[in-house]
Amino acid sequence: MAGAQGGVARRLAGGRARTDGAAPDRKLKVGFVLARLFTLSAFSLFIDTLRLASDELDRSGRVKADWELLGSTRHLIRSSCGVSVAPTSDLTRPERFDMIVVVGGRLESEELCDEETLRFLQHAADLRIPLIGLCTGTFILAEAGLLTRHQTCVSWLHYASFRERFPDLKARPDRLFNFDGMRGSCAGGMSSADLAAHIIRTFIGRDAEQNALEVLQIGRARAPTDTQTRAPLQQLEGMATTDRRVNATLITMEQHLAEPKSIQSLAGMVGLSRRQLERLFLTTLGMAPAHAYNLVRLQRARQLLAGTDRPIIAIAIDVGFNNASHFSRAFRRTYGVSPTEVRSGFARMPEEEAEGAIIDAAAERRAASP
């Protein structure tokens, strides 16, 4: 997060961010751009954290911050849940704002925003105004060519789509949010409030942040180094971990199945040596990282076998196995049934029921074995 204050701080009075809890010399001004079918939770959590930080208690005065909802037209903008909001300003003079926040929407939408909005964001970037993408707002910034040389946080849910569309950009599916001073991003959901709290603490003050968190009933704002709440092995394997480095590694494993990363590379991503990561996994999960990686791959294969009609060899390749026989042996060792048996016996069941049946069948076979 080094240098994270630079872009906004230069725009605030005196070129300095506040770190003493005192009010800034002038308001922090934020512009919001909403995608078509935007995510209401990401927008509301960010703007309400800003609103409550701007004044005492819940008075909602625009004392320490101000904001506008920007649009290429004044037509209502519909969210993914059906609630619509109206822009309060046209796309003019981006220099009015200390930062511009782009709220993403459902990726099935043919066009998240129009060309005029993209040009507005590019103009803002030319003026060195910090740009932040909430949830899939990062897709809009990437589409506009504005994330080059910046690391992006993407939800584990949308990571594969982001990598497919923008293979040359740096993205992480494990972290909650990132802000380097010129670009910010978050995974969406509650992490929108975490990112807003970080910005408020840095550029308005700790007292303002604390007021917002207390009114919103948020006990603690999470840090950019905290991991997303996705736990790949927890739901189906009965394993849970609270170690953020282990969970971050598991999330990264989950997003690199067809071409698995080396254990050395995974260790480096969480600031550990290979040996340190192996010790941490053994202490936390009781298994080596390589074994955990294999379970993550087979877990995904099991989901595909139970919930899709893809050929078994295609599923094997999707989860990083070079041939079907190697995949079948590994699958049987883990679950006690072959991929073919799963496909023939459970393919017509709903996904959760099929997975439960697979687990039960595996348990029966293990109990019956000498």
Cα–Cα distance, 370 to 367 (Å, whole number): 8
Phi, psi of 152 (to 5 degrees): -120, 135
pLDDT band at 13 (very low <50, low <70, confident <90, very high): very low
CA distances (Å), 208 to each of 17, 106, 176, 319, in order?
13, 32, 22, 47
User: What's the pLDDT at 156?
Assistant: 85
Q: Which residue has the tokens 């550990």?
A: 272
22 against 273, higher pLDDT:
273
Assess contact for 182 and 172: CB atoms under 8 A. Answer: no
pLDDT digits (tens, 9 = 90+) for 199-210: 999 999 999 999
Q: Please give the structure tokens belonging to residue 213.
A: 């968190």
Q: Please give the share of the chain, as a percent, with pLDDT higher than 70.
A: 82
> Of 178, 187, 193, whose CA–CA distance to 158 is shortest?
187
CB atoms closer than 10 angstroms to residue 248: 23
Highest-confidence segment of 99-103, 152-156, 358-362: 99-103
Whole-number pLDDT of residue 356: 54
Please say whether the beta carbons of 153 and 177 come within 8 A: yes
Residue with structure tokens 């789509």?
161
In the prediction, which pLDDT does 186 show? 96
CA distance 357 to 345: 9
pLDDT value of position 220: 92
pLDDT classification of 25: cutoffs 50, 70, 90:
low
Q: Binning pLDDT at 50, 70 and 90, where does residue 238 land?
A: low
**Beta strands per DSSP E along the chain:** 28-34, 65-71, 77-78, 84-85, 89-90, 99-103, 131-134, 152-153, 171-172, 177-179, 183-186
Q: What tokens appear for 283 in the block?
A: 């202490």
Cα separation values, 135 from 104, 263, 349, Å:
6, 29, 33
pLDDT tens for each residue of 242-272: 688 888 898 889 888 888 999 999 999 889 9
Least confident of 136-145, 262-271, 275-284, 346-355: 346-355
Pairing of strands 28-34, 99-103: parallel
Residue 108 has pLDDT above 90, yes or no: no
Least confident of 6-10, 144-148, 212-216, 355-359: 355-359
Query: What pLDDT is attached to residue 7?
Result: 63
Most confident of 106-115, 117-126, 254-263: 117-126
Residue 275, token pair as written in the block: 């040996």
Q: Is the pLDDT of residue 350 over 50?
A: no
Q: Are strands 131-134 and 65-71 parallel, antiparallel or unpaired?
A: unpaired
DSSP string of 192-245?
HHHHHHHHHHHHT-HHHHHHHHHHTT-S-PPPTTSBPS--TTHHHH------HH
